[in-house]
Structure 1
Amino acid sequence: MESARNEAEDTLARIENELRAALAFAQQEAKYGQVLAEARLRELETTCSEAKTNQAENKTLKVSKVELQAIFKAQGDQLISLTTELQEFYAGEKERGYNFGWSHGKEKLESGKADLFKGSFYANPISDTPTTDEVAIRRYPSYCRPNKWSDALPELEVAFKALGKLMWEAGLMLAYHCDQYVSKKMKDSNAGNLEQMLQRSRCHKGRLLYYFPRYSRHSGDDISSISSWCGWHTDNGSLTGLTCGLYTRDGVKITSPDSAAGLYVKTRNDEIVKVVFEEDELAYQIGETAEILAGRCLCATPHCVQAPNSEKALGVARSTFALFLQPDWDEKLQFPAEIRHHQELISPNRTLTFGEFSETLIGKYYHEKS
């Protein structure tokens, strides 16, 4: 029995090493501000499941990465069909803040208009109750309030948490390699602390995104624009994990009707690149906080989403899932004298908690006074 346990532990250690190796290319990709993590998850999870069967009282991974994505993403249409119920479910919660539960039309487009092109469902996939501190809950409701799940779609909670946790674990491995890269570039072995910061954080946020289909090519919106479905922006967290986009028509999965549609990023040289990855792969983008704390050894990834633009694209929706890995709301951040993003929002002593930093951005993204 002891021999079998040791063998299982060795197998799990080897799997972790393989995952780290698969993500090691982040050291090269980080200089472009865009990291694509091809972790060979389907193959490794099968091996991991077998090893855990021997080690952990026959507990195996119940759902593979590919199956999980299929289950999760298929719920995008179901979630939207429950729009009215979800609005009523969260009605009257004026203090819940942004990035919590169902959200539609709160963000602004580049034009300044309300973004009605997509709906979102937010929750913390790592912890249902990040804190019981009432002061923190009132100050930072988006991060600190307990999750609230609707009984109208009970399977959503299970899939949301399972996929979010998987992306969190892979993101921590990637953060380790970001730390190694930053330490080497800054010639300071203590420079990189992203992995530890994200490991202890209670602030991670999952977001199920649904881009509504368009039924007319003459709606007055510039659907030919590269940012027609989501405007250019950078995320304010540390790392953003992404699944690939799933296109559907009437709830049925289809191939994208326009090869130009999808996610685009800008490199450090302002080159615009279309990001392409498969269903069994994850992509990670660098966020503003990671750039700031790494002294620009890492660069936040500007990105946008282009809608399909053809007669065949009418009635086509897009679903995806994002996990925002970010510091804890009370994590103190020391900002350098000059930063590329939000310089005007930084306090004179250049020290803010992540919660304070995020709070100052609400007015910028939602046109409210902070």
Structure 2
Amino acid sequence: MASKDILQAQAVTVSLKELIAGTVPFETLTEAFGPSSLGIIVVKDLPEKFNDLRSQVLSNASYLAALPENELESLSSPESKYLVGWSCGKETLKSGRFDTLKGSYYVNCAFYRNPDLQNAPADDFPDFPQYTAPNIWPPVERLPTFRSGLEELCTVIIDTAVLVARACDQFAQANVEDYAPGYLEHVVKTSLTTKARLLHYFPSSQDAAAENNEDDDDWCATHLDHGCLTGLTSAMFIDEAENDPTSTTSKPLPELPTSPDPSAGLYIRSRTGETVKVNIPKDCLAFQTGETLELITRGKFRAVPHFVKGAKANTATTTTTGDKGMRIARNTLAVFTQPNLGEEVQPGKTFAQFASEVIERNH
């Protein structure tokens, strides 16, 4: 896809100060999340520590993926259907192939409510190990800042999601019949099932790139998020030919100012059927609507189909170190805020039932 052929879209942007003050106009929320929207809002003016946290956590995605295969295997959780810890090649794409182009590290964010919790309690939901299996963490001596950085960055993202949820509640209370005041904020703030996914898109070989160019969305099959609000960092692009992630496991890696492949990034299928690329500034967070939010607001806010493309191989032929091609990795973090398993998302259907349907569909 040539850069001139890529349709760019500008996401609705609000400041953290507006969210804290509760002054985001309903028109802005409708433009961001409503029936004719892209289903995404960008939040700027984040806490000062955000940039350093983002750099460290996203660098750790490359360090993690560079660990030996046997170590990665020890960090995976078949009993949770690979939705805790390391996962690669377990998810099916639209084409029916298993997705081996990216690795994921899943973390339960129950620690947001209680630092001693690493999962939702299994008492009432023994059949949901995806949420009730405890987190797996890499050894501190291997990846010193992995757990601490990820927990702190997830906390910043969920704190911000709580404020976005509060704005949505104000809108819904005025526009949705019998809407329970403060419902979405309550769901996001008290959830024990919120899930973080640290993503590493591997540098692509020429063969893999050619094979996957057949379908634009085969990098991450077109889908709807099934939670309430999905918090997203901007992607970090790293040339792993120049910055070998096996050589150190602590300091942040140098980040390319932009992707060498202009087609890499987040794409949204708009209401008019167009596919548009949305860029998230490095110092901002974005929040996308999920299917649960659509159910909760009875369609006033809509979940939007989207997909992700990694960077193609050999996007440049040389680097400053000589004639070896660039090996571009793309790292990002998504935090899926979602209700507790017993919460009703529509009359007669709990989030546990709804999530089970989605998980069976995708894995």
TM-score where L is the length of structure 1: 0.78
What is the letter of the counterpart of residue 302 of structure 1?
P
Contact 1:23 1:39 in 2 (8 A): no
What is the letter of the counterpart of residue 140 of structure 1?
F
Displacement of 1:200: 1.6
Name the % identity: 30
Moved more, 220-229 or 200-209: 220-229
Structure 1's unaligned 5+ residue stretches are: 1-14, 47-63, 336-350
Contact 1:126 1:165 in 2 (8 A): no
Pair 1:231–1:170, CA change in 2 (3 A) = same
Mapped pair 1:78 → 2:77: no
Contact 2:120 2:192 in 1 (8 A): no
Displacement of 1:144: 1.6
Partner of 1:65: 50
Q: Deviations over 1:213-238 (max 9, x none)?
A: 11215655132643142111011111
Displacement of 1:188: 4.8
Partner of 1:89: 74
What is the letter of the counterpart of residue 190 of structure 2?
R
- Map 1:122-201 → 2, pairs under 5 A: 122-127=106-111, 129=117, 133-136=121-124, 138-151=126-139, 152-186=142-176, 188=178, 190=180, 193-201=183-191
Secondary structure of the 2:87 match is strand
Number of residue pairs the alignment of both structures matches = 317
Contact 2:109 2:192 in 1 (8 A): no
Mapped pair 1:320 → 2:332: yes
Mapped pair 1:353 → 2:343: no
Partner of 2:99: 115
Displacement of 1:266: 2.1
Partner of 2:82: 98
Match 2:346 to one of 328, 331, 334: 334
Match 2:302 to one of 299, 303, 309: 299
CA distance in 2, matches of 1:285, 1:209: 17
Partner of 2:320: none
Displacement of 1:131: 5.8
Q: Deviations over 1:300-347 (max 9, x none)?
A: 121111233474166211000000000001212325xxxxxxxxxxxx
Contact 1:101 1:148 in 2 (8 A): yes
Pair 1:88–1:277, CA change in 2 (3 A) = closer
Contact 1:130 1:203 in 2 (8 A): no
Q: Deviations over 1:122-153 (max 9, x none)?
A: 11234152568444463211112222212032
Flag the structure with higher helix content.
1
CA distance in 2, matches of 1:176, 1:249: 39
**Alignment RMSD:** 2.6
Moved more, 23-32 or 76-85: 23-32
Partner of 2:228: 238
Displacement of 1:21: 5.3
Displacement of 1:278: 1.1
Contact 1:23 1:174 in 2 (8 A): no
Match 1:34 to one of 39, 54, 59: 39
TM-score where L is the length of structure 2: 0.79
Structure 2's unaligned 5+ residue stretches are: 1-15, 244-253, 317-325
Secondary structure of the 1:150 match is coil
Displacement of 1:73: 1.0
CA distance in 1, matches of 2:146, 2:85: 12
Pair 1:306–1:18, CA change in 2 (3 A) = closer
Pair 1:197–1:295, CA change in 2 (3 A) = same
Secondary structure of the 1:36 match is strand
Match 1:212 to one of 177, 202, 224: 202
Pair 1:218–1:315, CA change in 2 (3 A) = same
What is the letter of the counterpart of residue 198 of structure 1?
V
Contact 2:109 2:193 in 1 (8 A): no
Extract structure 1 runs of 4+ deviating beyond 4 A. Answer: 15-18, 20-24, 130-134, 217-220
Displacement of 1:189: 5.6
CA distance in 1, matches of 2:352, 2:169: 23
Partner of 2:280: 277
Larger radius of gyration: 1
Match 2:360 to one of 358, 363, 367: 363
What is the letter of the counterpart of residue 277 of structure 1?
I
Displacement of 1:165: 0.4
Displacement of 1:154: 3.2
Displacement of 1:209: 0.2
Secondary structure of the 2:199 match is strand
Displacement of 1:362: 2.2
